[in-house]
Chains A and B, each alone.
Chain A
Amino acid sequence: MVTNEDVMQITEHVLGTMLELGSYADSADNLLTDRLEAFTGCVHISGEWQGAVVVQGTPELGRLIAQRFLQLAPGEVSEVDVMDSAAELTNMIGGNIKGLVPGPSSLSIPSVTIGSDFNFRLPGTRESAHVVANCEGQPLRITLCESTK
Chain B
Amino acid sequence: MTDSTPALEAVGITKVFPGVRALDQVDVKFFAGQVAALMGENGAGKSTLLKILHGDYVPDAGTITLNGKKVTFNAPAAARKAGLRVIAQEPEIAPYVTVAENMYLGRFPTHAGFVSQTEMERDAAVDLERLGFAGLLNPTDIAITLSPAQRQLLEIVRALIDDPQVICFDEPTSSLSDHEIDALFACIRRLRDEGRAIIYVSHRMREVFQIADSVTVLRDGKLVGTREVEGLGEQDIIQMMVGRDLSNMHQREPYEPGDVRLRLENVTTDDVRDISLEVRAHEIVAIAGLVGAGRTELALAIAGDRPVRSGTILVDGKPLVSKTPQDAIERGVGLAPEDRKGSGLVMIRTVRDNIILATLKKITRLGFVSDKKEADIAAAQVERLNIRTPSLRQRVENLSGGNQQKVVLARWLAGDSQVLILDEPTRGVDVGAKAEIYKIVDQLAANGVAVLVISSELPEVLGIADRIVVMQNGHITGELTRAEATEEKILALAMADQLTSATTQPGEKR
Chains A and B belong together in one complex: no
